[in-house]
Structure 1
Amino acid sequence: MRSFQNDYSEGAAPEILAALVATNDEQTVGYTEGDPHCERARQLIREACGQPDAMVEFCIGGTSANLICVAGMLRDYEGVICTPDAHIATHETGAIGACGRTTLATRDADGFLSPEECERVWRFQTGTGRHMTRPRLLYITDSTEFGGVWTAERFDAICDWAAEHDCKVYVDGARLGAALESPANDLTLEHLAGRADAFTIGGTKNGMLFGDAVVVRDPELRRDFPYLQKERGGLMAKGRLLGVQFSAAFEDGLYWRLARHADEQALRLRDGMLELGYEPYLASPSNQQFFVVPDAVGDAFAEACGCETFLQMPDGRRVIRFVCSWATTPESVGELLALARTLRRDGC
């Protein structure tokens, strides 16, 4: 059975791999500094975002991009407000703390950062003046860690709160394609780009071998990004490989087609699991799907398709995650649903 562990187990989408092969013998300058592929990718991304003057840079992956952006948008006495499940607070090995910045977690439990919880954290952190870390940045993910998709209304509400409190907004778009191509989405890339101070466009989790693009409007980050990227070990000598991939992805809408396919297969999986009586954990209209199952069922799925346990419930059951990618086929989804049917029939 194919793995449903994540959306980056495969290599690259054929069109992107073909572009890398076709340009393999070229000689270009390094470090993404003026080679034609990176310049073309920057132009295409600016056009897609409706931000002709935005800085567009390329990082090797999401953690590198998050580290550089958070470090560049904050001073060392300032902190970033995020949900407790945020990637920067859980799965990045203390990278934000190691660069001298502080994560300030809310109590939001559904993956969405709320103005109400931001206000609570703000009041607590600023109540004693200079004796506490000052909040200055909001970190959100789209799609969320639980596959949720930000609506335009929800996104505007959090951006409005940030503006009222002199905070910046950073969007981790590791799965931005899946979010914006979700049938539940009404937020456009242009609208997001016009309000966020910086955001990423994930390539690693949407058909590329590696790489995330970073779009920056914030003046401080624009100034410091090149130096922070080099200092933090995030500057790639063969930078054109990033430009080749993003050019191929954005030249004719390939990026969005790959994400749409991943969503479609995940929603087929979701509908099939619901028909079989499996209990969903939160509502996910994107390429990640979460279900609450007994330990024995979780073990069976993990052995068969590598799905991961995300949470342990108070009643002893667990929340498991299935992820679909650009390479997930309807046949693979059907095979997984057949196993799910067998497990229900056998009473596991």
Structure 2
Amino acid sequence: MRMFRSDYSEGAAPEILRALVSTNDEQVAGYTEEGDEHCDHARALIRAACGRDDVDVEFAIGGTSANVVGVTGLLDDWEGVICTKDAHINVHETGAVGACGRTVLPTDDANGFLTPEAAERVWQFQTSTGRHMTRPAAVYISDTTELGGVWDLARFDALCDWADARGLKVFLDGARLASALTSSAAEGLTLEHIAERCAAFYLGGTKNGMLFGEALVIADPKLKRAFPYLIKERAGLLAKGRLLGVQFEAAFEQPADGNEALWWRLARNANACALRLRDGLVSLGFEPYGESASNQQFFVVSPEVTRSLEAACGCETFYTLSDGRLVVRFVSSWATRAADVDELLTLAATLA
């Protein structure tokens, strides 16, 4: 059976591989620097997609590198970043931001979305005694959230408005941004709007059909200056940088037939398969956990059913609830097909 463990279990989309093979013999400058025409072209394509020509576009090998360099580059030594308690930088990156001398300031938000109300409580506490406490200077959000939630325009603007009022910079983790923005739950939020309001964010490639790589879009002057040095200092600079440029070039090149760029099309497939799985499991009587409209789907099942599902399709256990039941996650990808979903639903029918 096809695995539903993650959206980076496969290698890369055929279009990405063809681009890498067709440019393999070319000689270009290293480290994504001037003279690498593929990185330069990818930057131009991404700026066009974002509707801004005044942003820097830089590349990182993966999400942790993008988060660490992006977040820490926005902060001074005495400053911290506000995020939810389940945020990736708080629980899944081995304290990487803290290891770089910056402080993560989690809120009590429980559903993956950072709210102005919870962020305000952290702000008030951290600024209550002046220089004796870490001062918040940025907020971190991810789209999709850790629980597959999708930010819509109203929710996004409400947080950005609060951050602006407090003089805080907004950093968006976009490891699964393609899935989020192609979801019906985005409700008006666009790539152009994110580019307008965020100090920095990134476009995820690792989890959307590439072998590896994320593209950071940087509006903040401080991070623009810091990024080239931080990415090297923190061991994230790829010598064969052209491998990043070629992949993003292929992902954002506009097809001659008028279709969407590959980056969007791959995410739409992942979302469609995830929703097919969600609808099928719900119809079989399985209990969803949360309201994900993205390529991550969460369900509450017994330990016995969990073991059967894990053995069959590699789904991961995320939480243990107070009644002993487990929350498991299914993830679809660019490579998932409707037939793969139907095969899993056939098995699930025997467990319902």
Q: What is the rounded CA distance, in whole Å, between the counterparts of 1:107 and 1:339 in structure 2?
A: 38
**Letter of the structure 1 residue corresponding to residue 32 of structure 2:** T
Asked whether 1:258 is paired with 2:266, we answer yes
What residue is the counterpart of 1:140 in the other structure?
141
**Letter of the structure 1 residue corresponding to residue 117 of structure 2:** E
What residue is the counterpart of 1:181 in the other structure?
182
| Count of paired positions | 344
Asked whether 1:321 is paired with 2:329, we answer yes
What residue is the counterpart of 1:73 in the other structure?
74
Q: What secondary structure, in the 3-state scheme, does the structure 1 residue paired with 2:185 have?
A: coil
Post-superposition offset of 1:220: 0.3
What residue is the counterpart of 1:58 in the other structure?
59
What residue is the counterpart of 1:13 in the other structure?
13
Q: What is the rounded CA distance, in whole Å, between the counterparts of 2:294 and 2:55 in structure 1?
A: 28
What residue is the counterpart of 2:198 in the other structure?
196
Post-superposition offset of 1:131: 1.0
Q: What secondary structure, in the 3-state scheme, does the structure 1 residue paired with 2:184 have?
A: coil
Structure 1 residues 33-61: Cα deviation after superposition (integer angstroms, max 9, x where no partner): 02010000000000000111100000000
Q: What is the rounded CA distance, in whole Å, between the counterparts of 1:163 and 1:231 in structure 2?
A: 30
What residue is the counterpart of 1:93 in the other structure?
94
Structure 1 residues 184-234: Cα deviation after superposition (integer angstroms, max 9, x where no partner): 112010001100000010000000000000000001000110000110011
Q: What is the rounded CA distance, in whole Å, between the counterparts of 1:46 and 1:135 in structure 2?
A: 29
Q: What is the rounded CA distance, in whole Å, between the counterparts of 1:66 and 1:244 in structure 2?
A: 22
**Letter of the structure 1 residue corresponding to residue 59 of structure 2:** F
Q: What is the rounded CA distance, in whole Å, between the counterparts of 1:67 and 1:236 in structure 2?
A: 16
Q: What secondary structure, in the 3-state scheme, does the structure 1 residue paired with 2:291 have?
A: coil
Q: What 5-or-longer segments of structure 2 have no aligned partner? A: 255-260
Q: What is the rounded CA distance, in whole Å, between the counterparts of 2:167 and 2:121 in structure 1?
A: 15
Post-superposition offset of 1:119: 0.5
Aligned pairs for 1:29-178 within 5 A: 29-34=29-34, 35-178=36-179
Post-superposition offset of 1:247: 0.3
What residue is the counterpart of 1:235 in the other structure?
237
Q: What is the rounded CA distance, in whole Å, between the counterparts of 2:110 and 2:307 in structure 1?
A: 25
Q: What secondary structure, in the 3-state scheme, does the structure 2 residue paired with 1:255 have?
A: helix
What residue is the counterpart of 2:316 in the other structure?
308
TM-score of the superposition, structure 2-length normalised? 0.97
Asked whether 1:289 is paired with 2:297, we answer yes
Structure 1 residues 112-138: Cα deviation after superposition (integer angstroms, max 9, x where no partner): 000000001111111111111111110
Q: What is the rounded CA distance, in whole Å, between the counterparts of 2:300 and 2:129 in structure 1?
A: 42
Q: What is the rounded CA distance, in whole Å, between the counterparts of 1:172 and 1:291 in structure 2?
A: 24
Q: What is the rounded CA distance, in whole Å, between the counterparts of 2:184 and 2:197 in structure 1?
A: 22
* Segment drifting more, 177-186 vs 167-176: 177-186
Q: What secondary structure, in the 3-state scheme, does the structure 2 residue paired with 1:26 have?
A: coil
Q: What secondary structure, in the 3-state scheme, does the structure 2 residue paired with 1:67 have?
A: helix
Q: What is the rounded CA distance, in whole Å, between the counterparts of 2:310 and 2:103 in structure 1?
A: 34
What is the aligned-residue identity percentage?
A: 66
Structure 1 residues 232-253: Cα deviation after superposition (integer angstroms, max 9, x where no partner): 0110000000000000000021
TM-score of the superposition, structure 1-length normalised? 0.98
What residue is the counterpart of 2:224 in the other structure?
222
Q: What is the rounded CA distance, in whole Å, between the counterparts of 2:67 and 2:220 in structure 1?
A: 14
Q: What 5-or-longer segments of structure 1 have no aligned partner? A: none
Q: What is the rounded CA distance, in whole Å, between the counterparts of 2:105 and 2:17 in structure 1?
A: 40
Tell me how large the CA RMSD over aligned residues is.
0.6
Q: What secondary structure, in the 3-state scheme, does the structure 2 residue paired with 1:184 have?
A: helix
Q: What is the rounded CA distance, in whole Å, between the counterparts of 1:300 and 1:229 in structure 2?
A: 42
Q: What is the rounded CA distance, in whole Å, between the counterparts of 1:301 and 1:51 in structure 2?
A: 45
Asked whether 1:337 is paired with 2:345, we answer yes
Q: What secondary structure, in the 3-state scheme, does the structure 2 residue paired with 1:57 have?
A: strand
**Letter of the structure 1 residue corresponding to residue 273 of structure 2:** Q
Among candidates 275, 288, 292, match of residue 280 of structure 1: 288
What residue is the counterpart of 1:213 in the other structure?
215
Q: What is the rounded CA distance, in whole Å, between the counterparts of 2:37 and 2:24 in structure 1?
A: 14
